[in-house]
Structure 1
């Protein structure tokens, strides 16, 4: 499926060396887009994703940054803009649970890491992208939030859920603030998605419990998340959509 207005658009996808971000990068590549693939600890995989983007018909550059650091986020956005001469779309996808811990045992360092990765990165990258998009008279920002933002998360993942709650609220508030600049801001909230690192962060019994409550009785796959990002990126498909969180969860939680 080709979405004509996406061809040639420039996009930066944070956290796109693996998982949902990598799947979205490949999907954008198939639309003939110019994709800045971002990684930090998985640069070999980031290079492979970039190769896949090129093979699919897009252009790609690979950028490295620790998005927990605000200055690094600013430099990342500026480098992506310089590489393509513009930035049409920012996908704030970098994030992760980091480590499960009950709040009574959670250290300040864990708080800083979880909030830095999931919340500060979204704030910092969005802030850096706005001047470029304003000068272009428009743009799109899409952030990856989570089902956890609405249900408080699974066991011992309060910090992760809270940080994703920030992402969802930030999305709605920023959408109001920048609509006058023709910038649309939305988010995608995946549910239980079958990712390579899923078993490392989520115990099997938690996954099984979630699947029993999911009307579709299965996990989603990475490719099933991509369509939401394509839809929200396309002016032709979603020009009057802003401040929304698109749920991709097989019916596990409904608005």
Structure 2
């Protein structure tokens, strides 16, 4: 049985071309041990393409390629044509069709899909982090977080953590209760990455009553009483003053608005640090 040889050529990693080649080869060789795949990744020079075409001729290999630059695709087609080497362009036809539909030129910048993939995995990692270190479950997360949220119960710490995670921030949140000493890690972190969430007693009173009713409980429990809430806020103020963190009033703010305030402050501080470093 004749062995089938593929040369996978890409200006990025080449995973896409290899998967497509394997899918096609499986229609002829169900035993993929009889199929050879050699990958040529991160190809940037036309001289490299000429050498690959020569090698393909010597080994009677089929070239399957994903090259985003049109001049590189044209060069490989020319080199393969001179040597009677079969070559299959996976990106060119699709890009031509999209260009025609949009009436726009492609950027022709290699590796953009991989950048998008990395961005996706950063987002997933941040979401998993927020879930793992939600509601003070493990105070060790405070030390590794990009952002730390502190506040009394029902100040939107969890939904805010998840929203910020979608923006690729690793967030830990810690509830503050007068009867429980805050974790020591809170006093070890950079105060600039910590944000205290406060809310008016009246609004929180209404929110907590609704919460109790939703749980099938009476709404006159201590948890929802204004004097208890004020006691918690006094404790909250002591803790955030000791940390030295920024305090945000979330009384009349949607989660998105609070997130934007935090992100804006984080970016401002980042640029300020860069400016100071440049002045040194």
TM, length-normalised to structure 1: 0.34
Which structure ranks higher in relative contact order (CA pairs < 8 Å, sequence separation ≥ 6)? 1
**Quick check: which has more Rg, 1 or 2?**
2
Higher helix share: 2
